Structure 1
Amino acid sequence: MNRETYAVIGCNGQLGSELKELSANLPIDFKFYDYPEIDITKKDELLEILRKDAPGAIINCAAYTAVDKAETEKDAALAVNGIGVKNLADVAKAIDAWLIHVSTDYVFDGTACRPYAETDATNPQSVYGATKLQGEVYATSYSKGIVIRTAWLYSTYGNNFVKTMLRLGNERESLNVVFDQVGTPTYARDLAKAILAAAEKATATNDTTLAGIYHYSNEGVCSWYDFTREIFDIERIACKLSPIETKDYPTPAKRPHFSVFNKKKIKATFGIEIPHWKHSLIECLNKLNSK
């Protein structure tokens, strides 16, 4: 029996790097790609490469993620987050592969008072969110397209909030962190495991009722201030931490005030258990400290 093949696009970022690490223990052939080796804005090039690989699943971790820059670089953001996803969906259809695409909480306006379900109305408040929503539309228009929305991603790889707070906490005597934006930190390694569970079931069953949108983050809820407080407590960082409001830390792109997900659908469909964010944070910090 031939081994299944998965193609991972955007393999050098936080999520792609976690998938790369996890792949070593799986009975699957992985093909890892990143820019400029592969450019999702060029459909012919994509098709040529992926047709040779003949993957059962294409996992797209590639994205334009410079949230504030996107406000003035709309075309660049749309090229990757929108048109690039359309190209991947077209190529996936041409080679009959599943497409698993990663999206974001920024497709919502963040004004809810209960965890967002996949069926809730979208209303992006930034260019980044709008371009990611466009990508979702393209991915879900394909009969074997799966979109997994996530939020507050961090990892031992790449640049992220956890690493930034560790650096600033050790450099400064005091730090101000926003407390009126609430969500759930997501350890990229946990998300990678969920993506692999989805890919495994989709390719094994080829059941197109699995297509659609899913929400994934770790369990629990906190503010950015609470998240930072936990990082500092675990690492015994003495930096004085003060909560501030979003209006006291203006940014070009508007951030959602509420980014909590209802994850019932992904847990039930793919049979996954989701760790609490505090447990995953400890795991990530231990791994960082051992490097």
Structure 2
Amino acid sequence: MTGTPRPPDGGFTAEDIRATVTEALGAGELDEDRDLFALGLDSLGLMRLVGAWRRAGSSVTFQDLVDKPVLSAWYAILRERAGGTGTPAVAPAPTSGDDESPFALSAMQHAYWIGRQDGQPLGGVAPHFAVELDGTGLDPARLRTALDHLVARHGMLRASVDADGRQWYGDGPARFAVHDLRALSGEELSARLAELRERHTHARPDPAAGELFRAALCLLPGDRTRLQIGLDMMAGDALSLRVLLADLRHLYTHPDVPLPPLSLTYR
């Protein structure tokens, strides 16, 4: 996939739609009746297309396009929905002390919050991303600094949820642990890594304690490292995780180059 597609200018002609999809796929000539998912389109790519077309004034939805993932059908759907309201403009909220006050959970966050509690049908689990990244030479102190800057940048990484189902941005540092396993080898090392993975993948973070984002670094023999990132879905989705990892990489590798300021918060 290439970058975010450009929305068509001035309408939703077949030429506009074809050009936008071609750019998104990085493809050449497209067969109008070929399944676009078979050609490499994925759900994130489709979300970007829907977002671009809604910003251009369409009321098209993800479900409209996923039901018929071929260009010939999309032409008719987008022309039909071209007169919709699209996505309303969002004005950045002014920065003030009020930004730290509690605010309501979204409907999806509320479902995640209730469902993780014991006693719920199919409940007692937390929807979260558990990522492991193997590498070499990561410096724990430098990584801790980068993580602290990351959670300072993104309020939802330090969010807490109270007993009434309202959330607020805390001000604490990143939750970060270092496991020094360099003295272990063989079966002992494998068993310890398996134990840490089990704990990581089956975590049920406590939203009341601000545990929606956490990281751990395993120091392994031979200067190898394993970085574990946990992101609760109350704090972010799959696309959010990609943004966070990109920001973290920048903050670690280029600590003296500031990231552009954010104009919006989740609030």
| TM-score, normalized by the shorter chain, greater than 0.5 | no
Which structure has more relative contact order (CA 8 Å, sep 6+)? It is 1
Q: Normalising by structure 2, report the TM-score.
A: 0.26
